[in-house]
Structure 1
Amino acid sequence: MAGFYGKHSSGGGVFLTGEHIFLEDNLVVQNVTSQSNLEGSYSSLIIGGGIVALGGDVTAINNQIVSNTAVITSMSPSGIVLGGGIVVNGTEVQLIHNTIRGNVGVESGYYLSQGGGMYLEDIGHLVLADNLVEGNIAAFAGQSGDGGGGVIARYNAPESVVVADRNIIQNNVGSFSRGGIGGGMLVGNFRPNIPPLEITFRDNQILSNTATVSGTFGAGGGMVIAEGHVWMSGNLFRNNSVRLCGGGVFFSKSEGVLENTVFIQNRAALGGAALAVDDHSDIRMLHSTFTENDGGDESGILMSHWDDAFSTLAMTNTIFATHTTGISITAHNTVTLHSVLWYNTPVPMIAQSATTVIADHQHWGDPRFAVDGYHLKPASAAIGQGIDTPVIYDIDGQPRRFPPDLGADEYWRMSFYLPMVIRYR
């Protein structure tokens, strides 16, 4: 399925409806939903450059969804584009081992675009596993673009569960010229006063995504989570960037637990190069590693707030390495640190008045990282300095010892076991 220009506003390559939809081993490439959308023509809602699947149960396995575009040129002053590559709405949805690459929501024009690679809406139970989502763009030029790699949105579903395991989300862009939200992914509720999304996010790599390339606004270079109840474990956020705050992850109105998380070389033009916690969020982090995140006020983490919506961050067994400032805390927010290693971070924390900061078991020294920036080498100052937590494995699945090491990695010396030989006379 290639090179098809859709006459309607949905599904440039494939449009499917039904109670049970199954897609396997398909190549969906270079389709366009709307080639030129002039003012007063076509629809103000354009969805799915490659595939639109609307059903009860939707399963997509081992498909390649490549170089599709929802809108090439739009001169209409308003409108919304959803999903440059694939759009799915259903009760039970599984996307497994797919390649979603090089798709574009809007190439040029005035449309708001959400989900350069994929747009997944109102799904009761969603499984994303072993997918490669790379090089997608929500908005190339024109209006703002949200979720360069993809958007998982909830409007009306009575309950919504998201499980994302072992995906690689890399080199995606929210917007080149205006405000972008979530360079890699945007996940959350899009309507107020509904229960939070239940999100499980394990062993994913979020790499080199950008929320906004040249504009003045943007949040969450790697990922934005809004109104979610989150459990995250074993995830790597590296080299993501944003024009405002939250280079790696931006949390808004969310609560959750993050285990064995690594933030390396993420950037933010304002602050919170690795992480921004905002708008009445409550986040607990266990065994985290922050390394060489920079930009803006040079803080690794930014605790900010809108109006009176203050947030809480609790961190245990953490490494901060090579930041000008570790954590920047605006007024009335709360930060708790239990067992932390500071290295090459001249200002561990900056706190405005009326903040609450608790820190104990602080250590200073060289974590001695391997070349990947987070695995520990012998003589690391992080080895054996942690306190007991419920986390029994590290980012590689190796057991934690007691006392555990700080950060996401647990250092184990290589051991050789020889068989016992007994000689009988």
Structure 2
Amino acid sequence: MIKQNVSSVIAASLAALVGAAALLLLLRGPAPARADSPHYVASDCTGVSSPCHTTIQDAVNAASPGDEIRVATGTYTGVQTLGGGVQLVYISKTVTIRGGYIAPGFADPPDPDNNPTVLDAEGQGRVIYVASSISPTIEGLWITGGNASNALVSNGRGGGIYSNGAIPIIVNNVITGNIAYTSTSSWGYGGGIYVSSPPGVAVITGNQVLSNVASTSYHAYGGGIYLGGASSAQAVNNVVLSNTASITGGRGYGGGIALSGGNGVTVTGNRVEGNVAQGGPAASFGSGGGGIYCHSSDDATLGDNIVRYNTASVPANGRGGGIGIDRCQRLTVVGNTLQGNVGSAGTTTGGGRGGGLGAYAARDLVINGNRVLSNTAGFYTGWGGGLYLSRNTTFTMTNNIVAANSANYQGGGMAFETGGASEPVTGTLAHNTFAANDRGSGNGRIAIHLNDPYVTLVLTNNLIYSHTYGLYATTGSTATLYNTLFYANSSGDTGGPGIIVNTDPITGQDPLLDAGYHLQAGSPAINAGVDAGVSTDIDGDPRVGPPDVGADEFIATVYLPLVLRNH
């Protein structure tokens, strides 16, 4: 019997993040009770305790820092110009705005699912603008109909929520149907949420971010969420679904979530699904990150997310159908499921690079404990069905399952790109399982394809099963392998004119994988590895004795006999 628990490391990290978020909520809670807090908002104040207001803006204007504003179920409309911008609500104080109540009683706890509090900007401006140097909480609201194209202040940024220089806590909201920009000549950022340059830890947690657009007609970042220079920000346990960075006319980056600048951002425990970075034709191509995009954001963590069915580019060139990475240093990608993503969906032009993950110039990239399954690099031309690592990338890759991915040009499991001796790719792979990445055609059925010179890999205790070649190295590339289990690779375990040193391979023996790519009893991978300094497997199970080859460590369960006694 195989244990299939989520990695204890990720679980502990997620618990810590949630705990930190809870602590922030506590620390930023209301100031000592005031006679006029909470404030109440309802369309009809009959029977409601004082102070009651008929608009949220009136309540914010009347509130003092630390006050709570409770908003009754209903739909609130009517943008206005405050603080130089056009929005439905202008937040200029550290207050808590919380929806989901029923008037006149406003009894706790609120229930925003059954009592929706809808803030609808009706396409006339932003929904919420957060002024700088404050730390408000926005909770339990339905935020829709925002359009920042004519917002007067920072046009094209944050159709639903805009925050620059503040420390917002955005929790348990539905943020849907918002647009950052309709311009045909200027970039859009953050269709649903835009958070930039917070002086502390901004928190986005428990939200549903659905069907937002960063730009309808030009280049854009972050269809759902944009974090710009947002050091230490946390995006935790959100559902980010069906957002688009650029609909047409431009390149798109981060259909679901985009990070740009800032250090130590954490994106953990989210479901990022069905998002598109670039949706339509444009004068230039080269979009990235259908689900999540990281650009020049160092020491970030993308952990324990479900990233599936996202597309980097519908018409042409796209990199990183699930996750796109551009010059992010010391990025940790750990415990994610990358499934069913597409680099490029174009069928007549362009190419896709990295159906699951595509990285450019990512130094000290850590790829650990992920499941990279059934992704497609590109329908017209594709490199790296599972992963594509390029130019000046250095990486370690441990305890991953890379299976059933598709490329029709190079590398069904992994492919690479270098820019000559000055832009090499160097990587260390330990305890990974590559299985049946042969769903494409030609050289796209190779598991690990060192398809450019100046790629240097060291591989220890990897399992490579059911491809044409297990590993193929072109001239000028080098692969050094230790204790690799090869099986059912039809053209050969290794091949190509590059330098391959293959020490102590295990060949000709079925690894006995189950449907989840775990080892079964009797597998030749059991105890066949060497110590590579890896203490646990993909499920967090300990590696004991001589380690097993591949991502999984077989754990035998001993059942003791049941003894019945008569008394």
1:236 pairs with 2:371: yes
1:114 pairs with 2:259: no
1:320 pairs with 2:464: yes
Give the drift of 1:47.
1.4
1:104 pairs with 2:251: no
Mapping for residues 200-349 of structure 1, pairs under 5 Å: 200-214=332-346, 215-228=349-362, 229-243=364-378, 244-252=382-390, 253-279=392-418, 280-294=424-438, 295-296=440-441, 297=443, 298-305=445-452, 310-346=454-490, 347-349=492-494
Q: 1:417 to 1:278 in 2, by over 3 A?
A: farther
1:409 pairs with 2:552: yes
Give the drift of 1:22.
1.8
Give the drift of 1:419.
11
- Of the candidates 41, 48, 52, which is equivalent to residue 194 of structure 2? 52
C-alpha separation in 1, matches of 2:551 and 2:451:
25
Give the drift of 1:188.
2.5
The structure richer in helix per residue is: 2
Indicate if the aligned counterparts of 2:254 and 2:289 stay in contact, CA closer than 8 A.
yes
C-alpha separation in 1, matches of 2:510 and 2:432:
16
Q: 1:19 to 1:10 in 2, by over 3 A?
A: closer
Give the drift of 1:94.
1.0
Indicate if the aligned counterparts of 1:369 and 1:375 stay in contact, CA closer than 8 A.
yes
Report which structure shows greater RCO (CA 8 Å, sep ≥6): 1
Runs of 4 or more, structure 1, over 3 Å off, are 416-420
For 1:184, the equivalent position in structure 2 comes to: 322
For 2:523, the equivalent position in structure 1 comes to: 380
Give the drift of 1:385.
1.3
1:149 pairs with 2:291: yes
- Of the candidates 66, 74, 78, which is equivalent to residue 210 of structure 2? 66
Q: Partner amino acid for 2:333?
A: F
C-alpha separation in 1, matches of 2:309 and 2:545:
38
Equivalent position SS for 2:489: coil
Per-residue CA deviations over 1:357-412 (Å, capped at 9, x if unaligned) read 1001111210111122x101112121121112201111111111222211111112
Give the drift of 1:21.
2.2
Indicate if the aligned counterparts of 2:487 and 2:493 stay in contact, CA closer than 8 A.
no
TM-score, structure 1 as length reference: 0.88
C-alpha separation in 2, matches of 1:14 and 1:312:
45
Indicate if the aligned counterparts of 1:271 and 1:301 stay in contact, CA closer than 8 A.
no
For 1:34, the equivalent position in structure 2 comes to: 181
For 2:74, the equivalent position in structure 1 comes to: none
- Of the candidates 360, 383, 388, which is equivalent to residue 503 of structure 2? 360
TM-score, structure 2 as length reference: 0.67
Equivalent position SS for 1:224: strand
For 2:12, the equivalent position in structure 1 comes to: none
Q: Partner amino acid for 1:27?
A: V
C-alpha separation in 1, matches of 2:262 and 2:521:
47
Give the drift of 1:19.
3.8
C-alpha separation in 2, matches of 1:419 and 1:17:
65
Structure 2 unaligned residues grouped into runs of 5+: 1-142, 419-423
Give the drift of 1:418.
7.7
Indicate if the aligned counterparts of 2:473 and 2:499 stay in contact, CA closer than 8 A.
no
Structure 1 unaligned residues grouped into runs of 5+: 190-195, 421-425
For 2:270, the equivalent position in structure 1 comes to: 131
Indicate if the aligned counterparts of 1:304 and 1:310 stay in contact, CA closer than 8 A.
no
Per-residue CA deviations over 1:264-288 (Å, capped at 9, x if unaligned) read 1011111111112332111101111
Per-residue CA deviations over 1:171-218 (Å, capped at 9, x if unaligned) read 1001111101110111221xxxxxx60112221111111000124312
Indicate if the aligned counterparts of 1:287 and 1:317 stay in contact, CA closer than 8 A.
yes
The sequence identity of aligned pairs, in percent, is 28
For 1:175, the equivalent position in structure 2 comes to: 313
Indicate if the aligned counterparts of 1:21 and 1:55 stay in contact, CA closer than 8 A.
no
Paired residues, number: 394
C-alpha separation in 2, matches of 1:24 and 1:31:
17
Give the drift of 1:225.
2.0
Q: 1:392 to 1:418 in 2, by over 3 A?
A: farther
For 1:18, the equivalent position in structure 2 comes to: 165
C-alpha separation in 2, matches of 1:182 and 1:95:
20
Per-residue CA deviations over 1:7-53 (Å, capped at 9, x if unaligned) read 23111211111242221111110112234x45xxxx52111111111
C-alpha separation in 2, matches of 1:204 and 1:417:
36
C-alpha separation in 2, matches of 1:126 and 1:225:
18
1:162 pairs with 2:300: yes
C-alpha separation in 1, matches of 2:260 and 2:524:
46
- Of the candidates 146, 159, 182, which is equivalent to residue 4 of structure 1? 146
C-alpha separation in 1, matches of 2:252 and 2:532:
42
Equivalent position SS for 2:233: strand
Indicate if the aligned counterparts of 2:276 and 2:311 stay in contact, CA closer than 8 A.
yes
Indicate if the aligned counterparts of 2:401 and 2:551 stay in contact, CA closer than 8 A.
yes
Give the drift of 1:107.
2.2
